[in-house]
Structure 1
Amino acid sequence: MTVEDLPPEAQVAIGYASPEHRGAFAALLAFDRNLARSVAGASEAIVGQLRLAWWRDAMAESADDLPRGNPLLDALADGFGEQRQHLGALVDGWESVLLAEPIDRLAIQALKTGREAGWLALGTALGAGADDTAVRLAAGRWALADLLSGLPQEDRTPEIIADAQASLGQPAPLPLGMRPLAVLDALARRSLAAGGAPLLAGRRSAMVALRAGVFGR
């Protein structure tokens, strides 16, 4: 999976990363999208679980034992180092979504927690010096907005929308090194306020992304 395969808001956000860290941000977002596709494309739950298990095992491997040759796995190894092992929580989150029929609040919470763990691991790997609470809040809002915006209308229950909007609030400052997350958070807050609108659609959202990319909020 390349950057061009990612959603437009992810492509925009990655553009605000420093050149030396751009690959790590792209790897995290590509990994998340890969897991989402594994879940969405599974003809049976067991098929999806087998795919997810491969990635879970790979995240648990030490650097010396990690197989090479898979471009995404290589990018995660290079971008995350030993912090890659924390990405198993992201796999667990997507497995919860896979096994929920239909998707429910518990599965959504599990995915939110897994996505937060991924961003926290990335911040540590990059030495961004970000406050964990700020990263968790921003990542959680993006996690919910991204999921909600992709849900079919019939799955957007009032409870799910209310849970997602409960995460709204003033963003905590993120360091320059985590500017892509600041962009996604700004777009997520706008999306959630609108009940799960697409994160990047129209001139207004483009301006929101630009302001967050430049000023971090």
Structure 2
Amino acid sequence: MVNDAETFGIDPAGGHAERVLALGYAPARAAPGIAAAFALDATLAKLALGTRDPMVAQLRLTWWHEALRALGGGVPPAQPILQTLAIAGADGTMLAAMSDGWEHLLAPPSPEDMSIFAVARGQLFEIAARLAGARDAVADAGQGWALADLAQATADPTVARIAAGMAEPLLKLAAGQRWSGEGRFLGALVHIARADLAGTHPVGAPRRVARLAWHRMTGR
């Protein structure tokens, strides 16, 4: 994902070495659009969690929302993420909903806010599955991944604890299915998220990498 980070100005894998591996499992024909979708998510996360002034974050999220809603309706702005998503034919309405989800984290979120966030951000997996031509059930996977990642990224220990607790049963359900060849990159992200929450082995540990290799071969 080094080249993607240079292209989009942000790392689609969020600096997570195993996510680089997982996203590499995506079908080659769909890889640029999928990388752009994850780069968008990383951008929205940075705005929502890394901007000190909530009003500034709100304005920037609104800009993205409007730009995403306009995809397919003309020439996109000279912004690499938007241009790549437009070329890939990604659904702008679904992408815009992701920014709506992040808005629920601009103030200290309640469990209800986190549920709304999970559903909205979790559409990233539906978008990626469509681009890849995968027909796997991805709702639990997307929501669980969204919450597990939030648990790792937030500086608020209460939010982290609640998000992790909400994520675990969703990820367990998602990991129980057999993923198609086209969807195995998303299944791999599920297994990575479960390993991150467990915290038993560090990222890149042989046991974790071997688990991903097994998933790539079997879909389990």
What TM bracket, shorter-length normalisation? 0.7 to 0.9
Kept after mapping to 2: 8 A contact 1:35/1:52: yes
Over the residues paired in the alignment, what is the CA RMSD in angstroms? 2.5
Number of the residue aligned with 1:36 = 45
Secondary structure class of the residue paired with 1:97? coil
Match of 2:28 among 3, 6, 19: 19
Letter of the structure 2 residue corresponding to residue 122 of structure 1:
A
Match of 1:73 among 63, 75, 82: 82
Question: So what's the TM-score if we normalise by structure 1?
Answer: 0.83
2:104 equivalent to 1:96: yes
Kept after mapping to 1: 8 A contact 2:69/2:93: yes
**Corresponding pairs, count:** 209
Question: So what's the TM-score if we normalise by structure 2?
Answer: 0.82
116 and 153 in structure 1: CA distance in 2 versus 1, 3 angstrom threshold: closer
CA deviations on 1:149-172 (whole Å, 9 max, x unpaired) are 223473356544432223223522
Distance in 2 (alpha carbons) for counterparts of 1:198 and 1:75: 35
Kept after mapping to 2: 8 A contact 1:24/1:76: yes
Deviation at 1:184, TM superposition (A): 0.3
Number of the residue aligned with 2:127 = 121
2:152 equivalent to 1:144: no
Letter of the structure 1 residue corresponding to residue 186 of structure 2:
L
Letter of the structure 1 residue corresponding to residue 139 of structure 2:
R
2:72 equivalent to 1:63: yes
Number of the residue aligned with 1:211 = 214
116 and 154 in structure 1: CA distance in 2 versus 1, 3 angstrom threshold: closer
Distance in 2 (alpha carbons) for counterparts of 1:16 and 1:57: 31
Deviation at 1:58, TM superposition (A): 1.1
Distance in 2 (alpha carbons) for counterparts of 1:198 and 1:151: 21
Distance in 2 (alpha carbons) for counterparts of 1:108 and 1:2: 33
Number of the residue aligned with 1:173 = 178
Distance in 1 (alpha carbons) for counterparts of 2:155 and 2:61: 23
CA deviations on 1:103-157 (whole Å, 9 max, x unpaired) are 43223212211122222133234432x14xx211222222122111223473356
Deviation at 1:9, TM superposition (A): 2.8
Letter of the structure 2 residue corresponding to residue 189 of structure 1:
R
CA deviations on 1:182-203 (whole Å, 9 max, x unpaired) are 11011223333x2x67883422
Distance in 2 (alpha carbons) for counterparts of 1:173 and 1:115: 23
Distance in 2 (alpha carbons) for counterparts of 1:22 and 1:198: 29
205 and 136 in structure 1: CA distance in 2 versus 1, 3 angstrom threshold: same
Aligned-residue sequence identity (percent) comes to 29
3 and 210 in structure 1: CA distance in 2 versus 1, 3 angstrom threshold: farther
